Structure 1
């Protein structure tokens, strides 16, 4: 197993990778003690068998001797497809570190859901079904920041990119043969969008679940969430280390205005009752209380008509049938909320546009209009005109 710890060695690998159509990529990282993921290892593999053409890139062991610039240059080379499985967290690391998103991109989890592998298209499942192999799970939850890496860790890490080659080649052929390249590309659009990996502190309050929709309460909540996010980002610590959501909601409700008020909090961590965090909390509460009426946040409550339950059930049957017939995971086509919305007369759902319209949406609309019915023939459900 080759481990790369220098820029020159990484550059040599990336130059060799440019002679191939694709390279498989995976990472190992830690995030329990930081806001941003700490990259511990990058696994790469060119086409080949076994560990041939596969390497581990070790930024920890390499230290200052290793720059990832050659890898980022490869990521921007549009002649080489960069293959990941469940790429969201991997891509976030590269986007935050260098503002780079690999192009072109292929995610085997997305492709597998389009190709009939169901809604739980996990890597181990694909390895078993396509590569006819097994993945050793024993190193999954190890501390990837500790050095030296064990033989078991390195074997596990390389398996994440060596089996991925066979999975990619199989899925790429299947997608091409079925003409579903655009389907996969549409699903990867969110992963390719840099905004997917940016967290705006001003919008952090929207992730906090609350039933209180009073504008003044939300204004304080917004300022507290903004402070917490900015503090966490600048210090690179998890937001929960500053104060958790339950404490945030308590603070927004009790509106502390003095250090003594903070001392009476039931949920606030002891470290947050003094120093910079305490000052930030009090300043955030003050800013929320002084928010002008025209800038108060409001949660728009969408009023939807109640769905026709019988129609909603029929749409679910149709979705299941179309999912089985097309070999596309049902949750990739439509979710339960979309079906209920359609059964209530709504039409602004993803299932009614793009490739989803072709697979399911067109017949779903006809079903809603009473133009078709559903019949059972053997073990299949078919649509028939009325």
Structure 2
């Protein structure tokens, strides 16, 4: 089991990978104590599955430059295969400003190929590669050196079995003609907007039942400060103050240190220094916000006038379509999609792309009263009206 610790060795392996049709990739990282993920290990494997080469790359090794790996990621002739790629892609986008292309995500492909919703790697290894994984090293500290043999064995298994899974799933997709469906989903993963968090938009992730303009203006400014501070200091936003404390501050609106210290939910570290100053400044900015500049709750977050009977019928239709196509229901349409359709909304992901073909067309017919659902034993049948 080779561990690469020099730029020269990494360049040599990446040159081999460029001559292959695909390379499987995984990472190990830490994020518990930072805002951005800390890359601790990269695993790579090339075909053939039985005797192909697999390596560990140590990005913490002194003097190692990941430029050859980044160059491999740009090499269009070699498919980069990940499982559940989102967190891995975020690391490379943040650190190097790039995405591995072309991409193949085996979790997305498995959901299209009938393996259920958000199927785990361990399940695919067992069902496709007919192997068992030892997951005991999963939550170890990957930043500590030297790595143990158990850690290395665990890490390398995440890319060696992935070769068999990729070859199986890619073959299944070619047979079913659903390759484009997977590509559509992967385009979302390869969109920079998926990973960019702008401080001025951070308030949109804060869940609150209060939607008055002034309250939301203070929420926006507090969330803006917290996000910017977390990014600049590279610490988790929860270490600054949590959402419940943010909402408390938006309600009490402290404008000096005495008022701030009356908070029940604020962490001790947030009651002094830069964080305390930032909170007070943010609250004042929210209080001084002009009414015409108040934040507006996005349309999808407003109280929808959902036709509950239609929403229930759409759920039955979705289940029927999922069983008919073998595609995971959550991949076809979310619960929010169904409610929005039942409320008369049409700017819904389930009504576009491959989902329109699988589900959206009939969902709209059902909503218009042009389609009825009947039960025939355990099956659901669609009857034109």
How would you bin the TM-score normalised by the shorter chain? over 0.9
CA–CA separation in structure 1 for the residues paired with 2:305 and 2:370: 22
Q: TM-score, normalised by structure 1?
A: 0.95
CA distance in 1, matches of 2:270, 2:340: 43
User: What aligned pairs does 1:173-252 form with structure 2 within 5 A after superposition?
Assistant: 173-252=171-250
Match of 2:349 in 1: 350
Q: Which residue of 2 aligns with 1:299?
A: 297
**Alpha-carbon distance in structure 2 between the residues aligned to 1:279 and 1:340:** 42
Aligned equivalents of 2:341, 2:163: Cα separation in 1: 40
Match of 1:42 in 2: 42
> SS state of the match for residue 39, structure 1?
strand
With over 3 angstroms needed to count, the CA separation of the structure-2 counterparts of 1:13 and 1:385, relative to structure 1, is: same
1:331 corresponding residue in structure 2: 330
Alignment match, 1:381: 380
Moved more, 326-335 or 94-103: 326-335
CA distance in 1, matches of 2:384, 2:288: 61
Q: RMSD of the alignment, in Å? A: 1.7
Q: Deviation per CA, 1:312-338: give whole Å up to 9, x if none.
A: 333222221211111111111112232
Shift of 1:50: 5.3
More moved, 44-53 vs 105-114: 44-53
Q: Which runs of 4+ in 1 moved over 6 A?
A: none
8 Å CA contact 1:113–1:329 kept in 2: the answer is: yes
How far the C-alpha of 1:41 sits from its partner, in A, is 0.4
For 1:77-226, what aligned pairs fall within 5 Å after superposition? 77-226=75-224
Among 247, 250, 272, the alignment partner of 2:270 is: 272
Distance 2:32 2:303 in 1: 39
Deviations 1:135-179 (A, max 9, x none): 111111111111111111100000100000011111111111111
Give the SS at the match of 1:59: coil
Aligned residues: 383
Q: 1:256 to 1:3 in 2, by over 3 A?
A: same
C-alpha distance in 2 between matches for 1:213 and 1:344: 20
> Residue 318 of structure 1 corresponds to which residue in structure 2?
317
Mean CA deviation greater in 50-59 or 274-283: 50-59
Query: Equivalents in 2 of 1:335, 1:118: separation in Å?
Result: 14
In 2: Cα distance, 1:299 partner to 1:364 partner: 27
Deviation at 1:51, TM superposition (A): 6.8
Residues 307 and 341, structure 1, Cα contact 8 Å, conserved in 2? no
Contact 2:375 2:381 in 1 (8 A): yes
Aligned twin of 1:361: 360
Name the SS for the 1:384 alignment partner. Answer: strand
Task: Please list every run of 5 or more consecutive structure 2 residues that lacks an aligned counterpart in the other structure.
Answer: none
- How far apart, CA to CA, are the structure 1 residues paired with 2:59 and 2:124? 29
Q: Identify the range of structure 1 (142-151 vs 266-275) with the bigger mean alpha-carbon deviation.
A: 266-275
For residues 304 and 143 of structure 2, the distance between their equivalents in structure 1, rounded to whole angstroms, comes to 49
Q: Distance in 2 between matches of 1:312 and 1:300?
A: 21
